Structure 1
Amino acid sequence: MVQLHDILIIGAGPCGLAVAARLREQTPSAIFTDSEHQRYHWINKHKGRMNLIRRRPGKMGSLGIPKQQAVSVKERASSVSSEGSNASTPTTSTAENDSATSLSSQASDFESEPEEEEEQSPTLKILDSTGPNWLTKWHRAFRTLEIAQLRSPMFFHVDPSDRDGMLAYTTEQSRESDLWEIPGCVGKEISKHKKKKQQRQRLKQKKGNLGVLGDTEIDERDRKDYFSPGTALFRDFCESVVGRYGLDKKGLIEEGEVADITYGYVDDVDSVKKVFTVATKDGSVFHARAVVLAVGPGGKKIMPFELSDQEREGACHSSEIRPGLFPSVHVKRKIQARKETNLVVVGGGLSSAQIVDMAIRKGVSKVWFLMRSDFKVKHFDITLTWMGKFKNYEKAVFWSADTDEERLEMIKTARGGGSITPRYQKILQHHASAKRVSIHTRTTIASRTYNPSTKTWHLTTNPPIPDFPAEIDHIYFATGMHMDVNELPFLQKMHSEYPIRSIGGLPCLTDDLMWQAEVPLYMTGRLAALRLGPGAPNLEGARLGAERVAWSLEEVLGRRAFGKDGQDEGDVERSVECFCGLGNRYARLAEA
């Protein structure tokens, strides 16, 4: 009989890791508010006396956590409790004591789990095209461009158990020196834009007068969040998450590039329902009850023009750069011979600035930095209004939009194209003052000729650059990637048999990030942007997407168990609504 996995995750990047970790986390404290925590632990306290959703071995309802975490959680609870009792202010004491109670409850639950809890968790399989380890492509990209720090703040990470998990890990490991302060965020006022005012007016019309918000700013108390981790710190933190949830087992991740996904009945599989069949390019076949597509940016390279086979000798996309192969062999030889070298970098985002800086540090004489639009400087790739204390307001506007077309426009406005961080702005300014970099905004390549014998380019630009050199040694296109769900080759059968609508290349998924209500193919990351918002491609989007996917999977895969327990469908639905705090939990009494 062919092996049938409960869940198959395609992609071992941050989005895939976030989903896998969330599936092993029983109480995701990072996501829930205080009131939701109270409901969660109230259910745990009374679960032996109430007919809530029943848990069965091997089903999604028995989502577990590695037993070894119970000890660390209990220690944290004791520590927080003792600190809370000595707190100087009532507010702090109450918050910390609540936290201690929550953690103690979690520790008690963990210790009471049976020895075979790990076996009761859903069976997972992860496929990744780049290797049998977590974040292989992610780490390679940072290593290739010699990036020292992440662009994200401390609360953007993949740990579902604690919003401040990375901050706690940094303190625990005494690695505060690996943090980079993000200046100019905390307490900085952000001017209103006409677009934001229009969105607020629309929300008022729909929901009633909510009052006028003042200028947005990030609270001073959140200053600790606005540091970015070094790449080594983030790597080690992710490894700690992998180890904590038992995601480092040999054979869990298998290298393979997906060629095709189908959904239907399979004769050789012990299942009375439809299952997914996932085939890879090397001929391997996997079967699963649910599939999560967490493929990251991927997709098609955005290029200003197509390169011929001959031209590819002297140009490449930034995604094609490999460790140790920058700059190109031809350019390296000229640098070693102490000859003048000239590179062109095309782009306007952070990657383009990093390539410019790396080229100068490698000995290139001069880099010509061409941008199609203006030189935009932002701390993050989305606006601060989506990250500050009023971010929930922005999300409310997004979620209350009438159409997906309107949401797409909000995404475009919030992201605003490529941008460069203030730190790299200073680096580029330093190189420019030394005449090593020439920056040209609103400039494109008008014509090109490649000479294979000299391995150089003759370029003209629009508008013309007066002192532009006659020979360019290499061109790097840091112009991003385009993800279109309709163009992914392995989804063509899904489009044919279970068609869905898409807008701007983004699929119109269900609110649970599912392909269709009855087709448990989930998407997270960039492809889930119409449901998660502008931050979907970021680390925060990875964690939020994982939360939605996990809740839905628990219900979808748990339906088989509910029928065996004798609960009718209505009881199950009411239990789920009560558990999630939806509707009126006292309505059941009226039916008795």
Structure 2
Amino acid sequence: MPDTSRQTLPHVHDVVIIGAGPCGLAVAARLREKAPGAIFTDEEHRRHRFLHRYGQSMPLKQVRNGRVTCCGRPTASDTHDLDITALDATHDDWCGRWNKLFKCYNIEHLRSPMFWHVSPVDRDALLGYAYSQNRENELLEIHHCVGKEVSKHMRKRTRTQKCSAHSACNARVEINERDRIDYFNPSQALFSDHCRAVASRYHLCDDVVKKESVQDISFDVVQGISVNDEPLFTVTTDRGPQYARTVVLSVGPANQPSIPRHAFKAFSATESLPQVCHSTQIETFPDTVVRTRMTNGQRTKVLVIGGGLTSAQLSDLAIRKGVTKVWHLMRSPIAIKTFDVELSWMSKYRNLEQAYFYSADTDEERLQMVRAARGGGSIPPRYHKKLKDHISRGRLELRTETKLVNAQFVTTEAGGRWKVETEPAVEGIPLFDFIYFATGIETDVAALPYLQTMRETHPIDEMGGLPCLTEQLKWKDDVPLFVTGRLASLRLGAAGPNLGGARTGAERIALAIQEHFEECKREDKISGDIAAADKDENEWERFVLGHGSKYSCLVEH
């Protein structure tokens, strides 16, 4: 008869990834890749201790000749067959929420360059995929960031052809001309298809991602499940517990979006706000209320609050969807940047600013460097130009250094609208049909409900709302909970929250997981040898005492 007790034992995964976005996919793909591409140089390997730890376990790019040195032993040879599952609160496929938001915002191109992607094979994997699929026409050149080593003849020719106060020849550049091919924005469709190709390549498509919302994470010996008192993770979800030997947390901003409530004095903190929405919670755009009024031929006005790219995208999209006029409020002066971080942080290899970051002595110093590099919200030149076009046509009113201080919901014959007050006061500000907040999400690890148990049982230091992880992106040396994405910014740097940190984080985590399972195998082997020796000794003892047979001893040898 079959052993029913064995059949009812819960399954223990090797790796559970919480969050199925680009960072989660990058980790899963890297764990399945036997021969990853180089993402560090030999100089960085010698300089930074977190790289030196792994010796020759990773390929490195030689600075002098550009060649890639293969690792001394196959990287992740023990991890490419690991049992991996991913849990996502909103979708059952990779990058589901990512694709949904891009579709909702009607975003055609990413903001990031071509070498920011999720594939572990090669730095140029996305560029190679575009050419292999004959889709190079979907790449949009990023202007004003390439050309440091342009020859004297080329600079003279550029000035002759398009000399102006804002031309490329006068722009501040930090990227070499030879890297121009990397500084294109991929289309959202191309990037999404590339992610699906990566998932397919590493067999991560079939039932790997499960739609489950994580409620709690704990790490301890689980009675009836742990073998030899091995501590396991219990990941409690809305569909029950999942058990794992290692867990990777790749949850992006992680915290719930919050709308600044100080301006809505007539509403309690728990009361829902009518015709108000945070940008991350948009289901349809414009909202049904605005669509209905547009269909009825009414003039519609929308208020967008925020200073980053998302706010610019919403203002642009609202006008293109037919909203009569959009008012856009920013509490700070408008910041125009090609990327979220400064160009000095952007490089395939030998990133000088990243080297300064890795060499920082304290987490407080690193936090200051990250905040200085990222600043507040910023808008790329391409969208700034769109906003100026809308302003010139009278469809957009942009007010910088202006704050919303009061908002009252009033009922009119045409329906409910918002009456707002600003600081400084703006004359002639109209009633608004809808208010959108594109104010980002404040990251605070202490506020995450599913990490409360871990913070109590395995406390670590925190700085500026971020956990102070080990250099391996591990919660603690003896707790194999790994963190990537924005929550790992104190280890990954200013590009950690972006696609730029996805592959770097995946590389560190994969090497650490490989090391973890190798250590587990060594411990199991030692335990097995001890158990075998004890068994031999017991058999001889039984024989001497007359309780056993000498033939049983001979069988063992």
Taking structure 2 as the reference length, what is the TM-score of the superposition?
Answer: 0.80
Matched with 2:28 is 20
8 Å CA contact retained: 1:217, 1:389? no
Deviations 1:174-202 (A, max 9, x none): 1011101100000269xxxxxxxxxxxxx
C-alpha separation between the residues in 2 aligned to 1:30 and 1:120? 18
The higher-RCO structure (CA 8 Å, 6+ apart) is 1
Residue in structure 2 matched with residue 288 of structure 1 by the alignment: 244
Partner Cα distance (2:127, 2:249) in 1: 29
Quote the residue 1:461 is aligned against: 422
**In structure 1, C-alpha distance between the alignment counterparts of 2:484 and 2:405, rounded to whole Å:** 38
Aligned to 1:381: 340
Matches within 5 A, 1:303-382: 303-305=259-261, 308=267, 312-322=273-283, 325-382=284-341
Moved more, 308-317 or 271-280: 308-317
> 249, 258, 262: which one pairs with 2:214?
258
1:228 and 2:185 matched? yes
Question: Which position in structure 1 is the counterpart of 2:161?
Answer: none
Q: Sequence identity, in percent?
A: 46
Shift of 1:303: 2.7
Partner of 1:204: none
The 5 A counterparts of 1:41-190 are 121-187=81-147
Q: Which one-letter code corresponds to 1:139 in the other structure? A: N
Question: How far apart are the structure 1 equivalents of 2:447 and 2:344?
Answer: 32
The more displaced of 444-453 and 13-22 is 444-453
| Deviation readout 1:422-449 (Å, 9 max, x if unpaired) | 0000100000000000110000112111
Farther off after superposition, 454-463 or 384-393: 384-393
The aligned amino acid for 2:19 is G
User: In the aligned structure 2, how far is the partner of 1:406 from the partner of 1:466?
Assistant: 44
- Equivalent residue letter for 1:329: T
1:164-563 residue pairs with structure 2 within 5 A?
164-187=124-147, 217-249=174-206, 251-272=207-228, 273-282=230-239, 284-305=240-261, 308=267, 312-322=273-283, 325-388=284-347, 392-452=351-411, 454-469=415-430, 471-563=431-523
Q: Is the 8 A contact 1:8 1:290 kept in 2?
A: yes
Letter in 1 for 2:24: G
Instruction: Please report how far the alpha carbon of residue 340 of structure 1 lies from its aligned counterpart in structure 2 after TM superposition.
Output: 1.5
- Counterpart position of 2:548: none
Provide the C-alpha distance between the structure 2 equivalents of 1:120 and 1:512, rounded to a whole number of angstroms.
Answer: 19
Please give the alpha-carbon distance, in whole angstroms, between the structure 1 residues aligned to 2:505 and 2:446: 21
Q: Judging changes above 3 Å, is the alpha-carbon distance between structure 1 residues 441 and 35 closer, same or farther for their aligned structure 2 residues? A: closer
User: Contact between 1:449 and 1:459, CA under 8 Å: does it hold in 2?
Assistant: yes
Alpha-carbon contact 2:148-2:176 (below 8 Å) kept: no
Q: CA deviation at 1:467?
A: 2.6
Q: CA deviation at 1:566?
A: 6.0
Q: Is 1:219–1:388's contact at 8 Å kept on the other side of the alignment?
A: no
Task: Encode CA deviations 1:287-319: one digit per residue, 9 max, x unaligned.
Answer: 111100011123132433266476622211111
Contact in 2 for aligned 1:217/1:388 (Cα 8 Å): no
Equivalenced residue count is 477
State the SS of the aligned residue for 1:495. Answer: helix
The CA distance in 1 between the partners of 2:181 and 2:439, in whole Å, is 33
- The offset of 1:565, in angstroms, is 5.1
- Give ranges in structure 1 of 5+ residues lacking alignment: 38-51, 54-60, 64-90, 190-214, 568-592
Which residue type is aligned with residue 293 of structure 1? Answer: L
Contact 1:10 1:293 in 2 (8 A): yes
- Look up the equivalent residue of 2:178 and give its one-letter code: R
1:130-161 CA distance string (max 9 Å, x none): 12100000000100100000000000000011
SS of equivalent residue, structure 1 residue 467:
coil
**1:87 alignment partner in structure 2:** none
3-state SS in 2 of match to 1:455: strand
Q: Is the 8 A contact 1:310 1:452 kept in 2?
A: no
Residue 329 of structure 1, CA deviation: 1.9
Query: Which structure has the bigger radius of gyration?
Result: 2
